[in-house]
Amino acid sequence: MSYVQLDYSPGKEDLVCEFHVEPRKGLSLKEAANHIAAESSTGTWTEVSTMRERIRKLGAKVFEIKGENVRIAYPEELFECGNIPQIMSSIAGNIFGMKAVKKLRLNDVIFTSNMVKSFSGPAFGIRGVRKLIGVKDRPLVGTIVKPKIGLNEKEHAGVAYEAWTGGLDIVKDDENLSSQAFNKFEKRVSETLKLRDRAERETGERKMYMPNVTAETTEMIERAGFVKEQGGEYAMVDMLTTGWSGLQSLREENNDLKLVLHAHRAGHAAFTRDTGHGISMLVLARLSRLAGMDQLHIGTAEVGKMVQEDDAMKLEDALKCDWHGLKKTFPVASGGLHPGMVPELVKKMGLDIIAQFGGGCHGHPKGTKAGAMAIRQAAEAVVRGIDLNEHAKNNDELRLALKKWSG
């Protein structure tokens, strides 16, 4: 049975995947594509007696081959709507281990309308997050408590308080901080939320804390519930290390908890960094929105310290585009940012971003609070169309930040 049908035109009930394919030596691209389509739908390595005509109709169809890029259409019936693990086991499962390919990358997936509508999507989205925080006309600014790990609960809360009173909207746990012996989850959440309340009273602004609830699924959901009980409004989760089923379980529980869900992409480069093999960040971004993440890290468009494997603009579009009624996911920029980078960041990514600073806040010559003030000053200058160096003349915190990192 051939799965290559170059005269086929995908319909509305076809899921379409775009792959980058490098066949093994001695195999043509067309032959490799046929193997991929077979393995990811109805086929196997040899003819089988159990194949029926009605099953043949469910086979994937390779309908386009251009250069090293192959597009394959899959009948919607092959998938269980609302089930990300099953979908990914099909289109991104055994195919990566096949001898037929030297390298294989899933670059994009176009889901059917029915499949998109089977997911809850974000509970808040960009509009909901902005309404909650009360900021409409500038990027949201935040920090990750640093050092990444090692502070005790009260030290952690103290750093958060300094950042909030310096003008930041959001404070986030680092991705590898959960509930270690020196910093227990419940005590950290309680201490930090107490100082959040204090910072709100002192500044007159809404302040948000993103505690990392990542754990085994049952424990993760219990931690999210504890955050809600303590008056928290956010939960952060390490999206890929948690796994799609855990992520969907958290989103389902969130129908009652009503927390903003912030997705960290820790581990993504294991899939995305090799542009010839793996799974693109674009695919992961689409899946995160389906799974109901209100916010997602997408890099810094080459502004910061991290490699940008996929076009940040495509990632933003995947999170912000109209998509069969799903709310829009808030793009998060983080990784080696400092106040001097804000103009370029906004130029590339727009105002609808959450810009998060780690060392670029806490490494300020005058400490965390001054670093937070410099970040807020930079964000407000950009929104008002004022050159940072000009704005720094009347803002000592920004001046010192620019001297240290942009001088």
Of 190, 195, 124, residue with least CA distance to 164: 195
> Of how many residues is the chain composed?
407
Structure tokens at 3: 């799965």
* Per-residue exposure over 283-298, b if at least 16 CB sit within 10 Å of its own CB, e if not: bbbbbbbbbbbbbbbb
35 catalytic, yes or no? no
What count of Cα atoms within 13 Å lies in the side-chain half-sphere of residue 316? 16
Of 251, 262, 322, residue with least CA distance to 298: 262
Say how many Å lie between the first and final Cα of the chain, rounded: 64
**Given the DSSP bridges, would you call strands 354-357 and 330-334 parallel, antiparallel or unpaired?**
parallel
Helix, strand, or coil here: 93?
A: coil
Q: Distance between CA 240 and CA 210 in Å, rounded? A: 17
Helix, strand, or coil here: 239?
A: helix
Q: One of 146, 156, 327, 362 is an active-site residue; which one? A: 146
146 catalytic, yes or no? yes
Q: One of 156, 262, 264, 268 is an active-site residue; which one? A: 264
Which active-site residues does the annotation give? 146, 264
